[in-house]
Amino acid sequence: MKIIEKLLVTGGLLAALAGCGVEEPKPYTPPPPIPPPTYTREETNLNKNMDEFVHLTSWWHDDYSQVWTDYRLEELHSLGVEGVTILVTEYQDNVDSTKIFPLGNKTPSEESLEHVIQKAKSLGMKVKLKPHVDVRTGDWRGDIGFSNESDWIDWFTSYEDFITYYADFAEANGVDELVIGTELSGTTHRSEWDGVADLVRSEFSGEISYAANWDNYDSITWWDKVDEVGVSFYFPLTPFNDPTPAELDAALAPIVQDLKDFSILHGKKIAIEEFGCQPYDGANTSPNWAPTTVVDEIEQADVYEAIFKALHNQGFVSQMTPWGRYCGYRYDDFDFDFMYRPAALVVDDWYHRDG
């Protein structure tokens, strides 16, 4: 069913979602209780081929411990979400800095992470912890790299300290899965990643993955060191600002076939660690950052629909994770959130299917 038809059929649900509001007033007033899920947890767990996750995001020290984050987890539970990937970010000064560090009030605190993990588990959700390294200058983490060997050694020493800290934390707090790195494309040619994976395995007993950028996964040679091939699924789709569902399907077909072939070659399933786009015109042409800011929530929903249609419950896919659900007090500055938009109906639909 096309998304516009869904909106006509389910307009009441969308109106209800919109009525809840995204931005809480100040001081915070808890929203009214959400109705019980239409489906039981047993029904939403009928799909055993893959895990149905959503990515939680925040860049503030205590967002995850706030009542609005509890409510957002309950919202996701009502959509049939089986697990959450929790973002925690540390920083380095620029792309050629060798020291990684938590940043003041921006890096989520241990207490905040403990709270959101336990809240998710109380709802029966799986938890994946996903530590990121961001660059304070605003440059992309994929451009981190060095021209001399001593800097590589220093950076990987700092990275090992960073990731083993979160491996220990994840083990102590019953986290199910840990991402050992995300989109560090300028570093993945280095043999040190073998040692990073081994070190994490010595500290953490759950499954581990690495989240490769969409244009980098097929150049990594150490997939044997992790349990899943993680991919940030931001492949450019069509050249059109207003593609039809058929055009989106056609654009995705070769991408999905390549991932399936790669999965077979390496004997590992593909974890879609992130996917989605902003609700702007032309977002499908550059899903990681839309070329315009002209609002087009239907295009966002159509992209969600096409990606779910192509990947959901496929035997080579272990997990799908839309980016995401922002847990800050007010609006997501990057505006990737799908809630209170037509894309939420798409998530609700696919995550309530039984395979």
Distance CA 164, CA 3 (A): 43
Give, for 135, the enclosing helix (H) or strand (E): strand 126-135
Q: What is the pLDDT of residues 239-296, one digit of tens each?
A: 999 999 999 999 999 999 999 999 999 999 999 999 999 999 999 999 999 999 999 9
* Per-residue confidence (pLDDT) for residue 272, from 0 to 100: 98
From first CA to last CA, the distance across the chain in angstroms is: 17
Mean pLDDT of 11-30: 45
Q: Which amino acid is at 192?
A: E
Full-model pTM: 0.88
pLDDT confidence band for 130 (50 / 70 / 90): very high
CATH of 3-28+38-350, one of 3.40.50.300, 1.10.3720.10, 3.20.20.80, 3.30.450.20: 3.20.20.80
Residue 43 has pLDDT above 80, yes or no: no
Cβ distance 82 to 44 under 8 Å? yes
Residue 33 has pLDDT above 60, yes or no: no
Q: What is the mean pLDDT of the chain?
A: 89
Q: Where are the domains of the chain?
A: 3-28+38-350
pLDDT confidence band for 323 (50 / 70 / 90): very high
* Per-residue confidence (pLDDT) for residue 165, from 0 to 100: 98
* Per-residue confidence (pLDDT) for residue 5, from 0 to 100: 45
* Per-residue confidence (pLDDT) for residue 16, from 0 to 100: 43
Cβ distance 80 to 44 under 8 Å? yes
Best CA proximity match to 223, nearest among 213, 233, 238, 212: 212
Residue 20 has pLDDT above 70, yes or no: no
pLDDT confidence band for 329 (50 / 70 / 90): confident
Instruction: Name every residue whose Cβ is closer than 8 Å to that of residue 352 and which is 6 or more positions away in sequence.
Output: 38, 39, 43, 44, 79, 80
